[in-house]
Amino acid sequence: MFHPFIMAGIYIHIPFCRTLCAYCDFYHVIAPQDVQPFVNALLKEAELRKEYTGSQNISTIYIGGGTPSVLPAAMLKIILNRIFRLYNVANDCEITVEINPDDVTREYLEQLKETQVNRISIGIQSWRDQDLKFMNRRHTSSQAAKALEDIFSAGYENVTIDLIYGIPGMTSSAWLSNLDFSFRFDIRHLSAYHLTIEPGTLFGKMKEKGLLSEIDEEESNLQFNLLVEKASEAGFIHYEISNFGKPGFFSIHNSNYWKQVNYLGLGPSAHSFNGYSRQWNVRDVKKYIKALESGNLMFEMEELSKRTRFNEYLMTSLRTMWGIDLDYVEEMFDKEGYDYIVNLSGKLIDYGLMRQDKKTLVLTNQGQMISDNIISELMLPGDD
Ligand SMILES: C[S@@+](CC[C@H](N)C(=O)[O-])C[C@H]1O[C@@H](n2cnc3c(N)ncnc32)[C@H](O)[C@@H]1O
Ligand code: SF4
């Protein structure tokens, strides 16, 4: 049984990118002139929000984007120093920063070593130049390999890479080669996402015009199975649908999201969660800066009904190897929530899509392939 309320995480969204990748729907802008005013606004927001986590111990800080490595590492240091001064940061706090391969230089890494960052997430996406070009990435695969080697040489041990599979034109043998090549490095963690074609992105527009079609379901499943099999052979534990870690190297920050631990989100578009409500900052860096320049926060908030909290718990926990904790369900959602889930899971267990381990319900490999369908099947219907 975990205790969600004694610690919290901080997510910091750095919204800047140098160019736009064809698939990406994360909030990002190309606006180098806004970097310094943004950092000033972020420092101000950190001050104004410190009551959100109160006396809770900050066990993780995640600097994501956009592209955090657009900022000089010295700026990251200023941001982190401010967070350390304002918040109750734990001594063993996991501090991750996302880095793009084309930003990795010796000078950057030297400066980064001067900060409190102790975990690096690098967006490799694919080791094949044709995929990188197709997705409008700024780097080649040999640049990415050099960046990864330089990160290890700089002394970082807790390193994770991002890969994307299910890319149109990528066969399963190409995906297999991508995996094999990744495991030649001493990475401790891998996030591998199936490409999703998001409306409004370049790929979304191409799809609308009939210029791009998604790979078929059979090929998707094949690539997912290869991922699970090869990662396990390479010593990684599959602890969440898209995440694989060596023992001791799971992402604590992301695991906490999935375990309903509180978090504070700083920066435009960042979300915050305190167990009972969710807040999300304005998704516009100029408005964000303007509001903070006049000492105001700009966010929307939703109080989460019991039904929404129940559905969010199902959605996140079922994607993990820890699954649904039935004791937690009973404690948080009463006997009614407990009975509901136990009744519905029976059928899924019979179909081999789910299994019960003592007081937890977990998706089988077969269930993971259709996790989205299972989760929407289980969600409590209705309006609040
Ligand atoms: C915040 S994003 C990017 C971080 C960093 N700027 C980079 O480019 O590597 C985090 C990860 O989400 C994944 N991602 C983003 N959009 C995706 C999509 N539409 N389909 C699959 N994976 C996606 C990519 O692997 C990406 O590295
Ligand atoms: S994948 Fe990374 S670099 Fe590319 S647009 Fe998204 S945030 Fe920016």
pLDDT in tens, 130-181: 999 999 999 999 999 999 999 999 999 999 999 999 999 999 999 999 999 9
Q: What residue has token string 């906490």?
A: 256
User: What are the tens digits of pLDDT across the range 321-340?
Assistant: 999 999 999 999 999 999 99
Q: Which of 2, 3, 7, 11 is nearest to 57 (CA)?
A: 7
Question: Taking a C-beta distance cutoff of 8 angstroms, is the pair 186, 151 a contact?
Answer: no
Given a cut of 50, whether residue 3 has pLDDT beyond it is no
Query: How far is 228 from 236, CA to CA, in rounded Å?
Result: 9
C-alpha of residue 263 to centroid of ligand 1, in Å: 21
Superfamily holding 7-257: Aldolase class I (3.20.20.70)
In this structure, the residues whose C-beta lies within 6 A of any atom of ligand 1 are: 23-26, 64-65, 67, 98, 100, 123, 125, 162, 164, 193, 195-196, 198
User: What are the tens digits of pLDDT across the range 248-291?
Assistant: 999 999 999 888 899 999 999 999 999 899 999 999 999 999 99
Residue of 12, 16, 20 best suited for mutating to test ligand 2, as the one with most atoms within 8 Å of CB: 20
What CATH number does the domain located at 307-379 have? Answer: 1.10.10.920
Question: Taking a C-beta distance cutoff of 8 angstroms, is the pair 14, 270 a contact?
Answer: no
User: What are the tens digits of pLDDT across the range 46-61?
Assistant: 999 999 999 999 999 9
Q: Which ligand is nearest to the CA of 121?
A: 1
In one letter, which amino acid is 213?
S
Mean pLDDT of the chain: 95
Q: Which ligand is nearest to the CA of 21?
A: 2
Query: How far is 296 from 274, CA to CA, in rounded Å?
Result: 20
In ligand 2, which atom is closest to the CA atom of 20? 5
Given a cut of 90, whether residue 201 has pLDDT beyond it is yes
Residue ranges per domain, the chain? 7-257, 307-379
Q: What is the pLDDT of residue 82?
A: 98
Given a cut of 60, whether residue 5 has pLDDT beyond it is no
In this structure, the residues whose C-beta lies within 6 A of any atom of ligand 2 are: 17, 20-21, 24, 26, 28, 65-67, 100, 123
Q: What percent of the chain has pLDDT over 70?
A: 98
C-alpha of residue 120 to centroid of ligand 1, in Å: 15
Q: What is the pLDDT of residue 358?
A: 87
Question: Taking a C-beta distance cutoff of 8 angstroms, is the pair 313, 339 a contact?
Answer: no
Question: What's the pLDDT band for 380 if we cut at 50, 70, 90?
Answer: confident
Given a cut of 60, whether residue 241 has pLDDT beyond it is yes
Question: Taking a C-beta distance cutoff of 8 angstroms, is the pair 52, 81 a contact?
Answer: no
Q: What percent of the chain has pLDDT over 90?
A: 93
Question: What's the pLDDT band for 384 if we cut at 50, 70, 90?
Answer: low
Which helix or strand (DSSP H or E) is residue 300 part of? strand 299-303
Burial (CB < 10 A; 0-12, 13-18, 19+), residue 354, is buried
Q: Which ligand is nearest to the CA of 68?
A: 1
Give me 44's structure tokens: 């101000």
User: What are the tens digits of pLDDT across the range 174-189?
Assistant: 999 999 999 999 999 9
User: What are the tens digits of pLDDT across the range 89-105?
Assistant: 999 999 999 999 999 99
